[in-house]
Amino acid sequence: MMRTSFLLVPAFGLWQLAPAQSLIQRSLQSDTMPNVVPNPGFEESVRTFCGWTQDPAKFNANMGSWSSPTQTTPDHFSTKNDKECWAHPSKHSHGKQSPRSGQAMVGIKTYGKGNTPTYWHEYVQSELPEPLQAGVRYIAECWVLRSARSNEASNNIGILLSDTAIATRDCLPLYITPQVNETKLVKGGWHKVSGVFDATGTERHILIGNFYGDEVTDHERQPDGERGAYYYIDDVNVRVAPAGTALTPKPKQSVPPPPKKVVPDHTSSKTVDIHEVEPAVGTRMRLDNVQFEFDKATLLPGYEKELDKLVDVMTDYPFLRAEIEGHTDDQGSDTYNLKLSDDRAKAVVDYLVKKKIDKERLTWKGYGETKPLKPNTSEENRALNRRVEFRVVER
């Protein structure tokens, strides 16, 4: 026996029963199906912060339903803040920019370098209440606005529906092909990024950001601002598409860069650039561009470029911990060499800490003449044994 469901609906001032299926069909036909994204306008947060943070855990804890999948930090903006607060939208636009709806929005970087030569992209991620339905056609969209404080406009602002939550321990971009991607430069006012796709039934998490490298991202310099392309995000929406809605073209495949180099132990920084090395646990590199005054722990001019590369690596990988090792040749007493090597290793650590690397992530140790790379039988070998090395102990 066929069963028909009914819903109570108003008609001419009276309440009447109407078939539930017909209401669903009407919703599909008029594109009014419910949005499955939680907190789509970023209105819900534990509190509003006046300042900004470089701690993604702080953003994640405050936003609840939204988080950062990498160790970069999106920003939460709200008109609930005092207008003098950094996190009030008008602070960066002389009062000209505000959320598309409601009182809040988030901001992410989509093009340009971060605090290092690496291209940083920021993302926001949220878990849907339940997976999308297999074989069902959906619309995914969000609204974006280039911040007046950024000096670039870009394309490649995309929406990714993923079956698993993404969580990295670094600040590097995500190279995953999204279901929706904006290929045109986004300038001017609020712009809708939208696409239509068929779900596989495993999609449970939504991410927004640039899923392509900067080398394949179009960009255009703007007259004002700084630090690359930065966009506000608001009104995220994923819903069942109306019947007959056509699929949008699939975005081009996201291609990651070549993997970094895995190098042998004691590889010289004169041979391989530190930026190109995969900083796996146990990796040890000779910092051969770091030199000291004779018989002292005073760094000679020219060391900054080399050590700044270490700062870059430790910034891109904020969980990385390292030991700086000091070594000497066999000239001098054991006690003297141990102290000299220890002082030289500490001089390197002191520079890194001065560059705002947390001292808790760094240790140093002098090994004196106990770990030569070559027998101390020639001046060439002794020069090789006099060295400072960088060793990854945790990542």
Same fold, 19-240 and 267-394: no
Give the DSSP H or E segment for 10. Answer: strand 6-11
Q: Residue 151 above 50 pLDDT? A: yes
Residue 6 confidence (pLDDT): 47
Pick the CATH number of 19-240 from 3.40.50.720, 3.30.1490.100, 3.40.50.1110, 2.60.120.260: 2.60.120.260
State what percent of residues in the chain have pLDDT above 90.
82
Reported as a single tens digit per residue, the pLDDT across 89-132 is 989 898 899 999 999 999 999 999 876 777 789 999 999 999 99
Residue 19 confidence (pLDDT): 52
Average pLDDT over residues 144-152: 95
Pick the CATH number of 267-394 from 3.40.50.300, 3.30.1330.60, 3.90.650.10, 3.30.450.30: 3.30.1330.60
Residue 28 confidence (pLDDT): 52
Q: Residue 10 above 50 pLDDT? A: no
Identify which of 178, 191, 181, 195 has the alpha carbon closest to the alpha carbon of residue 238.
Answer: 195
Residue 29 confidence (pLDDT): 58
Reported as a single tens digit per residue, the pLDDT across 217-276 is 999 999 888 889 999 999 999 999 999 999 999 999 999 999 999 999 999 999 999 999
Q: Residue 4 above 50 pLDDT? A: no
Give the DSSP H or E segment for 345. Answer: helix 334-354
What pLDDT band is residue 39 in, cutting at 50, 70 and 90?
Answer: very high
Residue 21 confidence (pLDDT): 46
Give 189-217 as a 3 state SS string: CCEEEEEEEECCCCCCEEEEECCCCHHHC
Give the DSSP H or E segment for 15. Answer: strand 14-19
Reported as a single tens digit per residue, the pLDDT across 52-96 is 888 999 999 999 899 999 999 999 999 999 999 999 998 989 889
Residue 11 confidence (pLDDT): 44
Give the DSSP H or E segment for 21. Answer: helix 20-30
Window from 22-26, 163-167, 201-205 with minimum mean pLDDT: 22-26
Reported as a single tens digit per residue, the pLDDT across 341-389 is 999 999 999 999 999 999 999 999 999 999 999 999 999 998 889 999 9
What pLDDT band is residue 170 in, cutting at 50, 70 and 90?
Answer: very high
Identify which of 134, 105, 130 has the alpha carbon closest to the alpha carbon of residue 37.
Answer: 130
Ordered by start, the domain boundaries in the chain are: 19-240, 267-394
Q: Residue 31 above 90 pLDDT? A: no
